[in-house]
A = this chain, B = another copy of it.
């Protein structure tokens, strides 16, 4: 399935979370990721994320769609790929 993952994570934990999410999905904006992923892999990602998160302060929202074609994407302003390549 196709997912969009957005997180809001405390500064101390954000580096770890970024590294984790990039192992599973494409980084498209500061705290936004997208990509094709299986349900099993998504569960694995979220289980690892929960270990990093402070459940009372942090949050992750995952939107999922069975097919990417059901979603259109429009980007205004700076595309994040340059940053992505630097790290």
Contact = CB atoms under 8 A, between A and B. Distances in A.
A57 interface: yes
A58 B29 CA distance: 10
Interface in A1-29: 4, 6, 8, 28-29
A65 B59 contact: no
B61 A70 contact: no
Interface residues of A, number: 37
B55 A74 contact: no
Interface in A59-87: 59-67, 70-80
A21 to B, nearest CB: 13
5 contacts: A6-B6, A32-B61, A59-B76, A64-B72, A71-B71
Contact of A76 (B49, B71, B73, B76): B49
A76 to B, nearest CB: 4
